[in-house]
Chains A and B, each alone.
Chain A
Amino acid sequence: EAGVTQSPTHLIKTRGQQATLRCSPISGHTSVYWYQQALGLGLQFLLWYDEGEERNRGNFPPRFSGRQFPNYSSELNVNALELEDSALYLCASSPLGQGRETQYFGPGTRLLVL
């Protein structure tokens, strides 16, 4: 069974640009979560999507946004990039029903903002 996949693996942008990160969940999983792992700040919850809807949002500004597609894949968009947005962005998915409390993570996208 294929795991959670993310693309690209690395992304370099300059301040003020926009970044788009992509995530494909494990087959059969309907929930997708996004987390930011910034140096010195630990793992912070960003967004949760389920059945195409945003269900919960962490303490991040509105320039962090995303969506979930009918095939349950997801995009995270970061507008007006700032230097402190440099981080590893992790996507996770969880199944519907039994075991839905467990999240499985992808390898991450490392975003560098110059």
Chain B
Amino acid sequence: GDSVTQMEGPVTLSEEAFLTINCTYTATGYPSLFWYVQYPGEGLQLLLKATKADDKGSNKGFEATYRKETTSFHLEKGSVQVSDSAVYFCALTVGAAGNKLTFGGGTRVLVKP
């Protein structure tokens, strides 16, 4: 079956530090890859996505590149802010009609001033 593995948190950083959250996947077909973010007490927000190999998704200073050869989709941000404190989920979906999302376990990020 499909699965997503992401680094366990929590990840604690100082403001303006560099953030990397590792994500690797296994998929039965050709997946689309996503990063979602969940702020405390809220639902999920789509952060970025990539639908084919070598695509780079980017949004709000975050980036992730779809690496088919290493089955990875690592999330990076060059300079984090306190407002980036949240839980980040890597996810994939396989199928022409979208179908279900398979999520990683989530990584809690805490940015301290």
Say whether A associates with B: yes
A33 touches B101 (CB 8 A): yes
Chain A: number of interface residues, binned into ranges:
20 to 34
Contact: B97 with A103, CB < 8 Å?
A: no
Complex CA distance for A103 and B92, rounded to whole angstroms: 11
Q: Are A105 and B45 in contact (CB under 8 A)?
A: yes
Contact A58 B98 (CB under 8 A): no
Given known A43-B89, A90-B44, contact A101–B98 (CB-CB < 8 A)? yes
Interface residues on B, range: 20 to 34
Flag the segment in B61-69, B78-86, B102-110 that touches A.
Answer: B102-110
Chain B residues numbered 22-46 whose CB sits less than 8 Å from any CB in chain A: 32, 34, 36, 42-46
Bound-state Cα–Cα, A82 to B50, Å: 38
Which of A48, A88, A100, A107 has a CB less than 8 Å from the CB of B100?
Answer: A48
List the interface of chain A (C-beta within 8 A of B).
6, 31, 33, 35, 42-43, 45, 48, 50, 55-56, 58, 88, 90, 92, 94, 100-108
Interface CB pairs A-B, < 8 A, 14 = A33-B101, A35-B101, A42-B106, A43-B44, A43-B89, A43-B91, A48-B99, A94-B98, A100-B96, A102-B49, A102-B98, A105-B44, A107-B42, A107-B43
